[in-house]
Amino acid sequence: MSDPILHIAILGAESTGKSALSAALAAHYRTAWVPEYLREFVETHQRTPHADEQYLIAATQRAREAESALHANRLLFCDTSPLITAVYSEHYFGQADSALTALAAQHDYAATIVTAPTMPWVADGLQRESDEVRQQVHARLLCKLHDAGVAYLLVDGSLQQRVMQTVDYLGLHLPADEADTFAR
């Protein structure tokens, strides 16, 4: 019987380095990572999503996690989660619909890493709005995690510093047999 794949959520507001951190961690652990589906949606449709498309985006993200787990080596780094989609839905549309809220509540990740909004904010011309929005979303995310009782590590600094902070955290917070497997 193969060991289960542990999903690690990499969360944060826009332009906080989630994708770079996910890719770097996957390289460090020689495993797979799941890119953010929202980015693909925006590039494909050349627009930001509407309120009625939020659940589809979150559900597609979770489906991609399941697909990527088939190619992962014990850990799977997930660049975002339905919780972020719900946070953005609340910010932009005033609420997340009940299906999205239910999906976001299934935050069943082995560990949660939050990227601090301290990297330089970069506009992308379509999806990213402003550093002010980034700070508001970050604060809302931390409140959601706190209210849900989800433990997390807030990483900051350069990409390499964030990788090392995460490696140290995972070594301490994964089950003992997993921590031994991944100690490097």
- Answer whether residue 180 shows pLDDT above 50: no
The 10s digit of each residue's pLDDT in 116-125 is 999 887 776 5
Helices (H), the chain: 18-29, 37-45, 54-69, 82-93, 98-105, 131-148, 159-173, 176-182
**Mean of the per-residue pLDDT values of the chain:** 90
Distance CA 178, CA 170 (A): 9
Q: φ and ψ at 83, to 5 degrees?
A: -60, -40
Kindly state the average pLDDT of the residues 156-163: 98
pLDDT of residue 1: 45
Q: 112 pairs with which residues across the strands?
A: 9
Place of tokens 């919780």: 83
Instruction: Please name each of the domains of the chain with its CATH number.
Output: 6-182 (3.40.50.300)
Q: What pLDDT score does 85 carry?
A: 96
**Residue in 107, 88, 114, 87 with CA at minimum distance from that of residue 12:** 114
* Burial of residue 14 (number of CB atoms within 10 Å: 0-12, 13-18, 19+): buried
The mean per-residue pLDDT over the stretch 130-142 comes to 93
